């Protein structure tokens, strides 16, 4: 909007139009800047509050032996507000995960229309959700929280407030699009709505077959058109409920809140912040420098360093996005300087993200333990060796595929250099040990342990590495909130979609079908691998596990499959799906972090995924790899 038509006949009119357009842009920019502060400042406060609350809970319980009984409740309430402010910040910054491979291939005209659709669809979904969210929050007023004794509305209103902020962001973004494209998109959405309204009786008569229409065809259409994944999940669920059931929409906000506010998920923003602190204080750089001094002179050595660094950092941050963000910026420039193709690099980075899914303290390990009752300590122990098996498979393939054409200036590091880099990296290398020890020794829960890592990183960064830039703290906290909000909003809408699938009986039917597969436990393991690769590509790993974990783990136990072994198999299968294009969100995260076009690795990643799949079959066939060290 506000663009000057090139055929304007009079210079005076042209100047006036340009002035109006410029004035409109300044007005929009001022509004967006003000809205940014309204969103970002509370988000930053919420991140800091979470760290303080959970760290205080650890200190009071472990050091003073006086547990703060209200800490978890307060942390959960603040966390829900953090998730919604973070989701709004991510929407404003354009950081909600979306697939743009098809959009990028369109003509400029159609690309502009699809970009408009990618803004308008979230706006429509949030507008449909807004009133039910307010009604749901209002209904919680008479329910008091057990520890703090405050009305439930204070907690549940976060979604409604977040919806208001996201609508404001969406409207301001829509105002930057051309009127013609807005008209096209409005007409297209109106046609889809009319078609769904008219087809509702037919869809109801299809029984559970209508799930394929809503959660395969409609969902895939939104994803391929570049609509952010979280809003595709939410819109598909709303359309399903409105067209085929009599379920009131007030149920949807409750399910989204339930998905986002689990105490286990508190680890997401805190581990993201820990990963960013490690990068800012140059601890990650120190660890990578030590590995590079050991292996950097070997052909393919930096590929080994990348894999080793991902395993090390995975034990620190717990979040795959944070892992890749800590490693790629340090290694990619040198790897490109050596003549490595960026498509191969981003493929190896994405595959290493899938490889590290079982390296503790993985968020998926924490989730699977919470929903299935499997010991998290056992999962942490069992997850190490499967990750090593997959890393070896990737290392063998990377040596064959990644060519280094410029090694003439690369020399083997002397023993003194290796020793010096080891001493420099030692405080950073201690973080994984600190985190695992704190969980195993009962000092802190898997959720709280990240705050110990944050405190340690800040102290060591200031006193030892002397790399703590105060100017970067605010942007880093905003980035933490935005990335966490984008992830948590996907989990919230995916949880809502999972609930809809559960109500339809589909998940129980799928579980029963898998239990009846021929081949006993081996047939069950094989169908589980295929199923979770598919689920991992269309869902985020945590929602898939929330949906199917409680159903499938009892079946695995009945068939004689050890629960830790089964956990490793399904987690690695989900990881492969999560990083597999065209739907895997992890692949696009790797491309964003590596600053590489998704098209560059779209074809090159498949050999790496094949190596992961082969290694997964080895892990599935040899249970000792997962359970040999459980004792």
Tell me: do 288 and 216 sit in the same domain: no
> Which residue in this structure is represented by tokens 């056992």?
378
Tokens of 500: 């809809």
pLDDT for 404: 59
Most confident of 187-201, 323-337, 346-360, 495-509: 187-201
Tell me: do 245 and 274 sit in the same domain: no
Mean pLDDT of 224-238: 89
Name the pLDDT band for 126 (thresholds 50, 70, 90). Answer: very high
Secondary element (H or E) of residue 465? none
Is the per-residue pLDDT at 231 higher than 50? yes
The HSE-up count of residue 157 (CA atoms within 13 Å, CB side) is: 8
Tell me: do 219 and 305 sit in the same domain: no
Residue with the larger pLDDT of the pair 326 and 356? 356
Residue with the larger pLDDT of the pair 267 and 29? 29
Closest-CA residue to 71 (of 82, 85, 58, 57): 57
Residue 475 and residue 44 in contact, taking contact as beta carbons nearer than 8 Å = no
SS3 sequence of 566-627: HHHHHHHHHHHHHCCCCCCHHHHHHHHHHCCCHHHHCCCCHHHHHHHHHHHHHHHHCCHHHH
Range in 87-96, 191-200, 544-553 the model is least confident about: 544-553
Q: What share of the chain is helix, strand, coil (3-state, %, to 5)?
A: 80, 0, 20
Range in 83-97, 352-366, 399-413 the model is least confident about: 399-413
In a domain, 479, yes or no: no
Is the per-residue pLDDT at 35 higher than 90? yes
Alpha-carbon span 562 to 455, nearest angstrom: 37
pLDDT for 335: 79
Residue with the larger pLDDT of the pair 342 and 159? 159
Closest-CA residue to 303 (of 582, 571, 608): 608
In a domain, 311, yes or no: yes
Residue 491 and residue 543 in contact, taking contact as beta carbons nearer than 8 Å = yes
> Which residue in this structure is represented by tokens 């595709």?
232
Residue 391 and residue 619 in contact, taking contact as beta carbons nearer than 8 Å = no
Is the per-residue pLDDT at 524 higher than 50? yes
Is the per-residue pLDDT at 548 higher than 80? no
Phi, psi of 151 (to 5 degrees): -60, 145
pLDDT for 630: 83
Backbone CA torsion sign across 539, 116, 92, 128: negative
Range in 84-93, 276-285, 298-307, 401-410 the model is least confident about: 401-410
Alpha-carbon span 600 to 180, nearest angstrom: 33
Tokens of 490: 């996907």
Q: Which residues pair with 144 in a beta bridge?
A: 151
Tell me: do 58 and 87 sit in the same domain: yes
**Helix, strand, or coil here: 292?**
helix
Phi, psi of 555 (to 5 degrees): -65, -40
Is the per-residue pLDDT at 344 higher than 80? yes
Exposure string of 255-273, with b = 16+ CB inside 10 Å and e = fewer, is bbbebbbbbbbbbbbbbbb
Angle at 300 between CA 298 and CA 302, to 5 degrees: 85
pLDDT for 120: 94
Tell me: do 232 and 164 sit in the same domain: yes
Residue with the larger pLDDT of the pair 58 and 518? 58
Closest-CA residue to 625 (of 370, 392, 369, 374): 392
In a domain, 395, yes or no: yes
In a domain, 560, yes or no: yes
What number of residues does the chain have? 631
In a domain, 383, yes or no: yes
What is the average pLDDT score of the chain? 83
Contacts of 126 (CB under 8 A, 6+ apart): 163, 166, 167, 170
In a domain, 628, yes or no: yes
Mean pLDDT of 509-522: 75
pLDDT for 446: 66
Q: Maximum distance among all alpha carbons in the chain?
A: 85
Mean pLDDT of 329-334: 76
Tell me: do 333 and 428 sit in the same domain: yes
Closest-CA residue to 549 (of 500, 504, 510): 510
Range of the domain at 543: 264-470+504-631
pLDDT single digits (tens) 151-201: 989 988 999 999 999 999 999 999 989 999 999 999 999 999 999 999 999
Name the pLDDT band for 9 (thresholds 50, 70, 90). Answer: very low
Residue with the larger pLDDT of the pair 622 and 311? 622
Tell me: do 42 and 171 sit in the same domain: yes
In a domain, 172, yes or no: yes
Mean pLDDT of 245-252: 89
pLDDT for 165: 96
Tell me: do 246 and 343 sit in the same domain: no
Put simply, whether the predicted model's pTM sits higher than 0.95 gets the answer no
In a domain, 495, yes or no: no
Q: Is 56 exposed, middle or buried (0-12, 13-18, 19+ CB in 10 A)?
A: middle
Is the per-residue pLDDT at 408 higher than 60? no
Contacts of 157 (CB under 8 A, 6+ apart): 137
Residue 261 and residue 83 in contact, taking contact as beta carbons nearer than 8 Å = yes
Tell me: do 219 and 286 sit in the same domain: no
Contacts of 279 (CB under 8 A, 6+ apart): 285, 325, 326, 329
Mean pLDDT of 3-21: 40
Among 226, 261, 296, where does a domain finish? Answer: 261
Most confident of 13-27, 198-212, 230-244, 497-511: 230-244
Phi, psi of 95 (to 5 degrees): -110, 5
Residue 537 and residue 354 in contact, taking contact as beta carbons nearer than 8 Å = no
The HSE-up count of residue 232 (CA atoms within 13 Å, CB side) is: 25
Alpha-carbon span 43 to 475, nearest angstrom: 11
Tokens of 73: 């409740």
pLDDT single digits (tens) 92-123: 998 887 777 678 788 889 999 999 999 999 99
Alpha-carbon span 572 to 541, nearest angstrom: 10
Residue 202 and residue 128 in contact, taking contact as beta carbons nearer than 8 Å = no
Q: What total of structural domains would you count in the chain?
A: 2
Closest-CA residue to 280 (of 498, 468, 133, 410): 468
Tokens of 372: 């299935």
Closest-CA residue to 348 (of 619, 593, 143): 593
Name the pLDDT band for 342 (thresholds 50, 70, 90). Answer: confident
Among 261, 286, 302, where does a domain finish? Answer: 261
Backbone CA torsion sign across 327, 332, 333, 334: positive
Query: Is the bond into 320 cis (omega within 30 degrees of 0)?
Result: no
What percent of the chain lies above the pLDDT cut of 70? 89
Among 212, 240, 261, where does a domain finish? Answer: 261
pLDDT for 409: 61
pLDDT single digits (tens) 439-459: 767 787 767 788 888 999 999
pLDDT for 2: 33
Separation of CA 613 from chain center: 22
Mean pLDDT of 275-285: 82
Tell me: do 188 and 48 sit in the same domain: yes
Alpha carbon distances (Å) from 104 to 179, 290, 303, 597: 22, 39, 30, 10
User: Integer distance in angstroms from the first to the last C-alpha of the chain?
Assistant: 67
Closest-CA residue to 294 (of 432, 429, 195): 429
Name the pLDDT band for 355 (thresholds 50, 70, 90). Answer: confident
Q: Is 603 exposed, middle or buried (0-12, 13-18, 19+ CB in 10 A)?
A: exposed
Tell me: do 199 and 182 sit in the same domain: yes
Tell me: do 200 and 321 sit in the same domain: no
């Amino acid at each position: 909007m506000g663009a000057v038509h090139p055929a304007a006949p009079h210079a005076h009119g042209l100047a006036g139009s340009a002035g109006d357009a410029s004035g409109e842009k300044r007005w929009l920019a001022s509004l967006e800047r003000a809205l940014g502060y309204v969103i970002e400042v509370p988000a930053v406060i919420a991140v800091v509050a979470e760290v303080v609350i959970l760290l205080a809970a650890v200190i009071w319980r472990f050091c003073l032996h006086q547990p703060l009984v209200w800490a978890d409740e307060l942390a959960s309430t603040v966390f829900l507000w953090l998730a919604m402010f973070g989701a709004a910040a991510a929407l404003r910054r354009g950081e909600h995960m979306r697939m743009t491979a098809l959009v990028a291939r369109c003509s400029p005209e159609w690309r502009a229309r699809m970009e408009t659709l990618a803004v308008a669809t979230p706006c429509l979904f949030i507008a449909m959700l807004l009133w039910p969210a307010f009604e749901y929050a209002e209904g919680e007023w008479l329910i008091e929280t057990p520890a703090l004794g405050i009305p439930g509305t204070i907690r549940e209103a976060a979604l409604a407030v977040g919806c208001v902020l996201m609508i404001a962001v969406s409207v301001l973004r829509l105002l930057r699009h051309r009127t013609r494209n807005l008209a096209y998109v409005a007409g297209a959405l109106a046609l889809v709505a009319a078609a769904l309204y008219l087809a509702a009786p037919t869809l109801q008569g299809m029984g559970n077959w209508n799930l394929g229409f809503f959660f395969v065809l409609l969902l895939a259409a939104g994803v391929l058109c570049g609509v952010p994944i979280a809003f595709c999940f939410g819109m598909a669920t709303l359309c399903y409920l409105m067209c085929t059931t009599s379920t009131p929409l007030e149920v949807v906000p409750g399910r989204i809140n339930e998905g986002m506010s689990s105490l286990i998920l508190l680890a997401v923003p805190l581990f993201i912040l820990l990963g960013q602190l490690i990068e800012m204080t140059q601890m990650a750089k120190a660890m990578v420098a030590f590995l590079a001094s050991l292996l950097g002179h070997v052909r393919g050595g930096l590929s080994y360093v990348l894999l080793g660094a991902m395993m090390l950092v995975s034990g620190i941050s717990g979040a795959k996005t944070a892992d890749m963000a800590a490693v790629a910026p340090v290694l990619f420039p040198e790897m490109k300087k050596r003549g490595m193709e960026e498509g191969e690099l981003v493929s190896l980075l994405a595959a290493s993200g899938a490889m590290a899914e079982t390296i503790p303290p993985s968020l998926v390990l924490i989730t699977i333990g919470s929903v299935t009752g499997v010991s998290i300590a056992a999962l942490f122990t069992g997850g190490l060796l499967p990750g090593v098996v997959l890393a070896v498979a990737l290392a063998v393939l990377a040596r064959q595929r990644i060519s280094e054409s410029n090694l003439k200036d690369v020399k083997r590091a002397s023993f003194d250099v290796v020793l010096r880099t080891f001493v420099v990296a030692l405080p950073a290398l201690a973080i994984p040990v600190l985190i695992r020890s704190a969980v195993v020794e009962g000092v802190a829960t898997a959720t709280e342990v990240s705050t110990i890592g944050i405190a340690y990183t800040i102290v060591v960064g200031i006193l030892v590495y002397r790399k703590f830039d105060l100017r970067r703290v605010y942007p880093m906290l905003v980035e933490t909130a935005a990335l966490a909000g984008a992830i948590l909003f996907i989990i919230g809408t995916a949880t809502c979609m999972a609930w809809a699938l559960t109500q339809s009986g589909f998940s129980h039917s799928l579980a029963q079908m898998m239990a009846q597969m021929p081949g006993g436990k081996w047939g069950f393991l094989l169908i589980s691998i295929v199923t979770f690769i598919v689920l991992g590509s269309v869902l985020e790993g945590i929602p898939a596990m929330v949906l199917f974990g409680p159903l499938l783990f009892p079946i695995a136990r009945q068939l004689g499959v050890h629960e830790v072994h089964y956990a490793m198999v399904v987690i690695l299968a989900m990881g492969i799906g999560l990083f597999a294009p065209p739907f895997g969100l992890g692949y696009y995260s790797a491309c964003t972090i590596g600053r590489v076009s998704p098209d560059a690795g779209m074809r090159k990643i498949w050999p790496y995924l094949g190596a992961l799949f082969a290694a997964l079959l080895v892990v599935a066939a040899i249970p000792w790899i997962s359970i040999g060290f459980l004792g």
